[in-house]
Amino acid sequence: MSTATATYEGLKPGTAAKHAFFSAVVWLCIGTSFGFFTSLRIAWPDLLNGVEVMGPLTSAFAFGRVRPLHITIVIFGWISIAFVAAMYYMTPALCNCRLWSEKLGVWNIWLWNVGLVVGGLSLIMGANSGREYQELIWPLDIYVLTAILGLASINVFMTVLQRRTQGIYITVWFFMAALIMLFMTYFVGAIPDLFPVTGLNEAYMVWWHAHNVLGLWITPVSAAIAYYVIPKITGNVLYSHKIGHLHFWTIVAFYSTPGAHHLMGAPLPEWMKSFASVSGVMILIPSLAFITNMVLTVQGKWNMFSSNVSLQFALTGTLMAVPLNFQGAFQQTRAINWYIHGTHWIVAHAHFALLGFSTFIEIGATYYAIAKLFNRKIYSQSLATTHYWLTTIGFVGFWTTLTLAGLIQASGKVYNTTFIDVVYATHPYMVGRSLFGLTIVLGQWIFLYNMYKTATAGEPVTEKNAPATVYYT
Amino acid sequence: MGGYKEYKIGVIMFLVVFAASMFMTIGLGGVYLAKIPATQLALSKQVHYGSSAWSIKDPLMKGLNQPMVTKRGKSFNDPVGVGKKIFIREGCWHCHTLLPEQSMDWEYFGAPPLAGDFVGESPTVIGSDRKAPDLMHIGSRMPSVAWHLQHHKDPRSVQNKSIMQSFDFLDKKELKALAKYMVSLK
Ligand code: HEM
C-alpha cells in the first residue's frame, strides 16, 4: 500500500485525523461555553465582580477580554481545526492514497492546540492587537502562519501530489485553494501588526481580513465538506460538476472583493463602498450554485434526512445557507446597512454563518468521520438526535432574540430614542439569548461525550468498506 | 505520475484570478487610502498616542512605551496615550464605537470624522458593534474627569440601567489615564 515518499513511523492511517477531530470538538465545547459566559456578562454586567475568590481573575474574566477569547476559540479552534481534520481525513480518501505524513499531521494538531492555549491566555491577560477577528499579537500571528497553516498546507498539498487518481474531486480543489487563500488573508490581516500601516488603510485591511476569513476560508471549506459528506452518505453522485466549477471560480473571483462593506459608515471614498456593495450582492451566485448542487444531489434520498444524523446536520447547515446568503447580500447594501449596522442584528448574522451554516456541516462531517475512522457505530443515536435538536432549537431561538433586539436598537436610531432606553429595552432579549445559548452549549457537551463513547465503546463494524448507513443503527 | 492530469491551466488561472481580485481590492483601495493627507486632529493624535499597538516592550499593555510629557520637571508617559492603550486592552471597543456614522449620528453622537483624521493612528479601534454610546466626541459631552472616574469604577452609580461592567479592578493610575483619554476625545 505504501508509496515511496510516505512516512508512517508506526502511526496508523487516520491518526492525525483522529487527533484533529477530537481537538476540534473539545475546543467547540470550550469556545461555546465562553460564549455563554460573555453573554451572561451582557445580561448581568457585574456578575463575579467583587466576588472574593476571583482575585486577579476578575480582570481576566472581564467582558472585553472574554469576548475575543470566545471568537478566537470558535473560529481558530473549533471551525479551523475541524476543517483541517476533514482535510486529513478526506484528502487521502479522495486521492486514493495515504496522508503524506501522519506524524507531521499529529505534530501540526498539537502545535495548534498549544498555540491556542498560549493565544487564549495572552488574550485574557490583556495582550490584544486591537483588531477585530485578528486579536492575537504579532508573534502569535507568525506562529499561526508557519507552525499552524504552513504545516497543514504542506501535508495536504503533498498528499495531493502523490495521489493515485486521475482527476481531483471538487472537495480537494476547495481544500487546496482555501489553504492558499487563508494564508494570504491572514497575512493581510497581520500586515498592520507587522508593518507601519495606519489609519483607514489599517482599518480596511483588518476588515478585508475579517470578511475573508469567512469568505475565503469558512464558506468554501464548509461547502467542500458538504460536497464530500452529502454524496457519500446518500450514495448519489454529485448532481453537477459544472455547477461546482461555477461555485469555485466565482468564489475565487469575487468573494473577497466586498471587504469594505464592513466599513459603510466610515469615511471611505464612495467608489470603494459602491464597489463593495455591488460585488457583495454577487456573492449570491456561488452560494446559490452550491445550494442547488447539494439539494439536487439528495434527490430521491430525502427520507435519509431523518434516519442519518450526519446527513441531518449537513443538510440543515446547507439549507441554512439560503436565508443566510440573502440576508448577507442585502444587509450590506447601503439602503439597509445604515439601519442595522452595529446592532445585535449583525451578531445574529455572524452566528447564522458560523453556527447555523458552517458548524452544522462540520458536526455532520465529524459524526461521519469519527464513526468511519474508528470503524464503530455511533454510540448513541438518541444522544445524537438530542444534540441535533438542542443545537437547532438553541440556534433558532438565539438568532431570533438577537435579531429582534437588533431591530429595537435600529428603530432607536431612527426615532432618536435616548440611548440608555434602548439598552434597557434589549435586556430581556439578552437574557433570552443566554438561555438559548445554554441550550446550544449543553448540546455540544453531549456531542463530546457521544464522540468519546463512540471511539471507546461503540459497537465495532466488521465489514471493511461498509456503506455509511451501517454506522447508524 | 505520467499520464495524470496536471491541472496546469487550472492552477495558473487560480493564481491569476485570485491575484487580480486582491489587486483590485487591497491594491487599488490601499494605494488610494495611503494618499489621504493627515488633518490637524490626526497630527495631535499622533503626538499623544504614539504607537498604541501591542509591543514586546510593553507585553501586558500597561502603556509603558507611550510618548513622554514633562510636568513640573518630571517626565512621564502621556496619560492620554496610556488611556488609549487600556481602552484597547480592556476591549471597550467591543461595546463602544469610535465612529459616528455618516447617515444618522449627527444629532446624538456628533459629526462623523474625516478620512484624514485617522492618519498615523494604529490601531484605530473604530469598532463595529454598538451596544453602547459612540465615544468619538465624549470629551465634549462629558468633559469632567471626576465623572468618568466614578463611572468607570461603578457605572450603575451614575446610570442605574447601564450594562457596562465596573472596571474597579483597574488601579488608580490606569483609571485616571482612561478618564483623561475620554476627556481628550473632543
Ligand atoms: C460554534 C458556535 C459559535 C460560533 C462559531 C460563534 C461565533 C461568534 C462570532 C464570530 C462572534 C462575533 C460577532 C460579531 O462580531 O458580530 C460571536 C460573538 C458572541 N457570541 Fe458566539 N459563536 C458561537 C456560539 C455561541 C454560543 C453558544 C453563545 C452562547 C450564548 C455565544 C455567545 C456570543 C456572545 C455573547 C457574543 C458577543 C456578542 C456581542 O458582543 O454583542 N456564541 N460569536
A120, A141, A168: which is the final residue of a domain? A168
Residue A198 lies in a domain: no
Cell reading at A163: 495521489
In B, which residues are within 8 Å of A64 by CB distance?
Answer: 90-95
A136, A168, A200: which is the final residue of a domain? A168
Q: Which residues contact A47 (CB under 8 A, 6 or more apart)?
A: A40, A41
Residues B167 and B88 occupy one common structural domain: yes
DSSP β-ladder status, B68-71 and B74-77: antiparallel
Instruction: Check if the beta carbon of residue B156 is closer than 8 Å to that of residue B162.
Output: yes
Domain CATH number, residue B134: 1.10.760.10
Residues B71 and B16 occupy one common structural domain: no
Query: How close is the Cα of A100 to the center of ligand 1, in Å?
Result: 36
Interface of A with B in 136-155 (CB under 8 A): 137-139
- Check if B113 contacts A (Cβ < 8 Å): yes
- Nearest-CA residue of chain B relative to A61? B90
Residue with cell 481537538: A23
**What ranges in A162-198 are assigned the alpha helix state H?**
170-194
Residues B48 and B103 occupy one common structural domain: yes
Residues B108 and B139 occupy one common structural domain: yes
Residues B79 and B90 occupy one common structural domain: yes
Q: Which domain holds residue B46?
A: 38-184
Which residue in A42, A62, A64 is closest to B163 by CB distance?
A: A42
Spatial CA neighbour of B147 closest among B93, B183, B96, B109? B183
Residues B89 and B64 occupy one common structural domain: yes
pLDDT by residue (tens digit) across B119-136?
A: 999 899 999 899 999 999
Whether omega for the bond prior to residue B123 falls within 30 degrees of 0, making it cis, is yes
Q: How far is B4 from chain A (nearest CA, A)?
A: 5
Give CA–CA dist A158/A229, Å, rounded: 23
Please name the amino acid found at residue A110.
W
Residues B129 and B180 occupy one common structural domain: yes
Which residue in B54, B56, B156 is closest to A129 by CB distance?
A: B54
Name the burial class of residue A413, with classes exposed (0-12), middle (13-18) and buried (19+) by CB atoms within 10 angstroms of its CB.
Answer: buried
Cell reading at A257: 472583493
Model pTM score? 0.95
Cell reading at A5: 515518499
Query: How close is the Cα of A351 to the center of ligand 1, in Å?
Result: 6
A168, A189, A206: which is the final residue of a domain? A168
Q: What is the pLDDT of residue A464?
A: 67
Give CA–CA dist A388/A383, Å, rounded: 9
Spatial CA neighbour of B167 closest among B159, B178, B182, B180? B178
Q: What is the pLDDT of residue A223?
A: 97
Spatial CA neighbour of A36 closest among A6, A69, A80, A3? A69
Q: Which residues contact B3 (CB under 8 A, 6 or more apart)?
A: none
Instruction: Give chain B's domain count.
Output: 2
- DSSP for B110-173 reads -PPPPGGGGTT-SS----S--SS---TTHHHH---HHHHHHHHH-HHHH-TT--PPP-TTS-HH
Helices (H) and strands (E) in chain A, counts: 20, 0
Instruction: Check if the beta carbon of residue A310 is closer than 8 Å to that of residue A229.
Output: yes
Instruction: Check if the beta carbon of residue B165 is closer than 8 Å to that of residue A45.
Output: yes
- Give the DSSP letter of residue A376: B
Give CA–CA dist B36/B147, Å, rounded: 36
Residue A256 lies in a domain: no
Cell reading at B178: 482612561
Residues B1 and B63 occupy one common structural domain: no
Asked whether the beta carbons of residue B166 and residue A346 sit closer than 8 angstroms, the reply is no
Spatial CA neighbour of A130 closest among B125, B169, B67? B125
Instruction: Give chain A's domain count.
Output: 2
Q: How far is B3 from chain A (nearest CA, A)?
A: 8
- Nearest-CA residue of chain B relative to A250? B17
The DSSP H or E segment spanning A241 is helix A241-254
pLDDT by 10s per residue, chain B, length 186: 444 567 888 899 999 999 999 998 899 999 999 999 999 999 999 999 988 999 999 999 999 889 998 888 888 899 999 999 999 999 999 999 999 987 777 778 889 999 999 999 989 999 989 999 999 999 999 999 999 999 999 999 999 999 999 998 999 999 999 999 999 998
- Ligand 1 near B129 CB (within 6 A): yes
Give CA–CA dist B172/B182, Å, rounded: 15
Cell reading at A247: 461555485
Tally of residues, chain B: 186
Q: Which domain holds residue A355?
A: 338-473
SS (H, E, C) A388-415: HHHHHHHHHHHHHHHHHHHHHHHHHHHC
Q: What is the pLDDT of residue A473?
A: 55
Residue A197 lies in a domain: no
- DSSP for A9-56 reads TTPPTTHHHHHHHHHHHHHHHHHHHHHHHHHHHHHSTTTTTT-GGGTT
Q: Cα-Cα-Cα-Cα dihedral of A332, A337, A340, A346, to 10°?
A: 20
Interface of A with B in 274-333 (CB under 8 A): none
Bridge partners (DSSP) of residue B69 are B76
Residues B7 and B93 occupy one common structural domain: no
Residue A20 lies in a domain: yes
Question: What's phi and psi for A150, nearest 5 deg?
Answer: -60, -50
pLDDT by 10s per residue, chain A, length 473: 444 444 456 788 899 999 999 999 999 999 999 999 999 999 998 887 767 677 778 888 999 999 999 999 999 999 999 999 999 999 999 999 999 999 999 999 999 999 999 999 999 999 999 999 999 999 999 999 999 999 999 999 999 999 988 889 999 999 999 999 999 999 999 999 899 899 999 999 999 999 999 999 999 999 999 999 999 999 999 999 999 999 999 999 988 888 888 998 889 999 999 999 888 899 999 999 999 999 999 999 999 998 899 999 999 999 999 999 999 989 988 889 989 999 999 999 999 999 999 999 999 999 999 999 999 999 999 999 999 999 999 999 999 999 999 999 999 888 878 899 999 999 999 999 999 999 999 999 999 999 999 999 999 888 766 777 677 65
